Structure 1
Amino acid sequence: MSLQQDASGGRGSAAVDVGLSTGAVARRLGVSATTLRSWERRYGIGPVVREDGRHRRWLPSDISRLEAMCRLTARGFPPAEAARAAMSGPYETVPQEARTFPAAAGLRTPGGRDALPLGTVRQECRGLARAAVRLDAPAVGELLEQALDTHGCVVAWEEVIAPALHAVGRKWASSGERYVEVEHLLSWHVSTALRFGRAAGAVAGPGAAAREPAGVPPVLLACVPGEQHSLPLEALDAALREAGLPRRMFGPALPVDALREAVLRVGPSVVVLWAQIKPVGVNLGRVVDAVAGVEWGVKGARSQARILRAGPGWAGVPDAGSRLITGLGSGLEVIRGMVGAQRPTQSPAQ
């Protein structure tokens, strides 16, 4: 069925016939209408249809070319080159080498009325933010995979993913209810890439759990009770996997009793407790005390886990003998040191 005809062969709706306005397309793609007009004037990437000979009306085929151009410019390609590639065929036909980040992309500061407040960031971060604003899920997924494959988990998180997430959060906070959908889409794809993406598979591979270092107690990762924001902890889990360190991830809002039971059964070398915020009605100091009191092993040779606190929710909470880590890279190095100094322990209670 053609764009202009319905299943019966008649004319379709007027909205379908005339396509979308430039303003509607700009909102859909997350770029300004001025940018679209500039692309048409400079590179000839414009709509086929003009209503009354003046107003631009963008058909699906026109929008597909624009989406391809947006994806390529987000990767640092000059607009003229991106336009030529976009008009040569669907984005999927662009050679794979043309979809990767140029080596000289460096750091850039995004601009424009609809740009997220990123500051000076890597080109990959800029492209990720633009794709998220467009709600372009395929591009978001591909950009995340490329960043993780190219830079590794720590650099990808600290210099590409986290700045984009923070920028979306700031935009949402300053724009009422706008951009919540952007935050949700980006967060979902970040979680998916960290846990199940190509980079995760390349490091872990089939049967990876069976290849954990023998005699090395795992690192236990958990969000404190009431804490639902687990993405930074998922990044640490991925970084530990990439480093070849055994770990057990328990995710959001683990109750204190369940946390104690997990520590007793796993016998970890290190316990990392994440708190994005201070949960209402939860005494974080007591959470640390509850974990610190767990012991395992035979009498006279009992073991305890070392405790690390992570996240801004711990601000102002007494250390209670634990250590606060800040940042993925520095935290990973602290854990490496602790695990490296840990001798094989007695088996935990089963």
Structure 2
Amino acid sequence: MTEGAGGAGITTGALARRLGVSPTTVRSWDRRYGIGPAVRADGRHRRWAPRDVAVLEEMCRLTAAGVPPAEAARTALGAPPEPTAPPEPPEPVRAPPPTGEVRAGHRGLARAAVRLDGPALEALLSEAVAEHGPVTAWEELMMPALHAVGRTWESSGDRYVEVEHLLSWHVSTALRRAAVTGRVRHPGAGPVLLACAPAEQHTLPLEALAAGLAERGLPVRMFGAAVPAEALDAAVRRTGPAAVALWAQARSTADHALARHVASTGFGLRGARTAPLVLLAGPGWAGRTPAPGTVRPTGLREALDLLSRRYGDEDGATARAGA
């Protein structure tokens, strides 16, 4: 832990971001249980020294494991861990070690989810999207936290379902907010249609794609989960899209016949009819050679680059819309 000038420690906001709690929660614990800094700069402003941080880390670990806050506070104050000890991820979430600049914060996101701390989730996700963009935030923060929580749920006999639901809702909210902001740079062009296969319910990866398209200024229409084949066909004919991204999480939901049908659907003036490029998005499409008119990107960034080139953005890496 790096202290501030003159050994004054770190601020409450910086500490809250590290631990995955809201600053309001930190102040509340200080007021109710005495879990606060030993020294306050100028007599008013909180500055957290290493020993103070160690006490609060123990408080977070205990509350995340289900210990009532009052009891956790007594334990943390009575037997704090060594200040030099590395921070532990809260039980029951066991997240993989961080590997990227933003991913280093996914443990804090998982901690906030375990505590069902909605305000902290909102603050952490909003800050990550604003600072790094939705694509990097999805790859290095949101997905690792979702995977960690999902593994915990699968290994705990259906416990902590509420944690996964809360985290998913806040991730979806952050991605949808990013998808409807910014300036569309190709207002007259056909949009990219995003839809889940008729039997597919997983939408978060498509929401990340929608946010990434919006970041690049590309027009998008999101139809969400389990889109019936007839409805997708009607949407294609009515909008004349440049491309259609069809998501399938599992092989059982990948509808190859529907993908071929969409790829062969022509529209436009007689003599100049065209058809959309179909992106087979998601792991469910693996194992077969893509049919004519379809492509299978290996990940989010490759999908974004393919779609950018569809609109003539050859570099595939336009600046953020509205920047």
- TM bin, normalised by shorter chain, reads 0.5 to 0.7
1:229 counterpart residue number: 202
Residue 120 of structure 1 is matched in structure 2 by 98
Letter paired with 2:281: A
Q: Quote how far apart the aligned CAs of 1:214 are.
A: 3.4
CA displacement at 1:314 relative to structure 2: 1.3
- Unaligned runs of 5+ residues in structure 2 are 1-18, 20-25, 38-47, 58-85, 315-323
Give distance in 1, aligned partners of 2:221 and 2:274.
18
Distance 1:200 1:222 in 2: 15
SS at structure 1 position matched to 2:193: strand
Asked if 1:291 is matched to 2:262, the reply is yes
Structure 1 position 328 matched with structure 2 position 300: yes
Task: Provide Cα deviations, 1:207-239, integer angstroms capped at 9, x if missing partner.
Answer: x6xx55233221111001011110010011011
Instruction: Read off the aligned partner of 2:297 and give its amino acid letter.
Output: I
Shift of 1:117: 2.8
Q: Deviations over 1:64-120 (max 9, x none)?
A: 979xxxxxxxxxx8754658999xxxxxxxxxxxxxxxxxxxxx9954643323233
1:81–1:238 CA distance, 2 compared to 1 (3 A): farther
Equivalent residue number for residue 141 of structure 2: 160
Alpha-carbon distance in structure 1 between the residues aligned to 2:145 and 2:49: 22
Task: Indicate conservation of the 8 Å contact 2:98/2:104, yes or no.
Answer: no
The one-letter code sitting in structure 2 at the alignment partner of 1:324 is R
Measure the CA separation in 1 of the matches of 2:201 and 2:194: 14
Separation in structure 2 between the aligned mates of residue 214 and residue 62 of structure 1, nearest angstrom: 56
Q: 1:272 maps to which residue?
A: 245
Structure 1 residues 167-316: aligned runs within 5 Å: 167-196=148-177, 199=178, 203-204=181-182, 213-279=186-252, 284-316=255-287
Contact 1:117 1:171 in 2 (8 A): no
Letter of the 2:257 counterpart = R
Q: Secondary structure at the match of 1:175?
A: coil
TM-score, reference length from structure 1: 0.63
- The AA in structure 1 aligned to 2:274 is S
> 1:252 Cα shift?
0.6
Partners of 1:272 and 1:307 within 8 A in 2: yes
Q: Which amino acid aligns with 1:301?
A: A
**Amino acid in structure 2 at the alignment position of 1:193:** A
How many angstroms does 1:135 deviate by? 0.9
Query: Shift of the alpha carbon at 1:315?
Result: 2.1
Structure 1 residue 303 displacement after superposition = 1.0
Question: For the aligned residues, what is the CA RMSD?
Answer: 3.3
Displacement of 1:304 in angstroms is 0.4
In structure 2, the partner of 1:131 is 112
| Gap runs ≥5 in structure 1 | 1-30, 32-44, 46-57, 67-76, 87-107, 343-350
Identity %: 49
1:223 maps to a residue whose letter is C
Q: Which amino acid aligns with 1:327?
A: G
- 1:195 & 1:135 partners in 2: Cα distance? 21
One-letter amino acid matched to 2:285: W
Q: Give the TM-score normalised by structure 2.
A: 0.68
